[in-house]
Structure 1
Amino acid sequence: MATYKELLARKQELDAEIERARQVEAEQALSTVRETIAAFGFTPDDVFGTRRKARGASNGAPRFRHPETGETWGGRGPRPRWLKGKDPEQFRVAGL
């Protein structure tokens, strides 16, 4: 039976061999991808897609503001105490 140190040495050798094999295969895969992109004239948007545009005030801007305290709420998550039982439209920030 191999000793602990011998096994660790073999593990390090295997890890290095695995990394070398990964690099070789990754280079081959990247080469294939590049050839395919060039052959079909793909654009980055074709390959990766386009980002979705944010809807409404989902950028984190506050939608509602308490007129006395200045507290704000973006309309997501639990409704704040100052809005409970009230019509949120009367606290809507102008322009949203």
Structure 2
Amino acid sequence: MPTLESIQSRIEALQAKADALIARQSESVLQKIHDLMSRHGLTVSDIEQYTGTRKKAGRANSAPKQGTVAYQDPKTGATWSGRGRAPGWIANAKDRSKFAVGASVKETKAKGKARAAVKRKGKGQPRGPQPALYRDPQTGATWSGRGRAPAWLASVEDRSPFLIA
């Protein structure tokens, strides 16, 4: 029975023979190409120009790329690429990382934390209730300064006595 070493030495010898055969064949092919080029008066730049235009034409005819799947519904198997309007099964989800395909939960959470760390300047007025800026000393009614002024403050020319310090 042959040993592993003897088989490996045979493989190496056969590989060396195959490399020598490939080298001889490639030399003969290159010689034929050189003869054809000189016979027809072609240069390497002519060939590059010809192959370059062929590649461009080939790219134009190729099929358009399909969108990659970014999210998948675990219940139905429906997929969404993450572009365009979100489908109903993911539209109301607070955390889309559980629907992500090919990304671990840790990676998506890390990305979410990185986004949360970057504070963005809000647009326009702040939302929600605002602290009171004015108080009526007689009734104790307050006004935040937003919206239409209440009657007890609208008729007053100087509002400074009503300001809350």
Max radius of gyration: which structure? 2
TM-score when normalising by structure 2: 0.29
TM-score when normalising by structure 1: 0.49
Query: Relative contact order, CA 8 A, sep 6+: which one is greater?
Result: 1
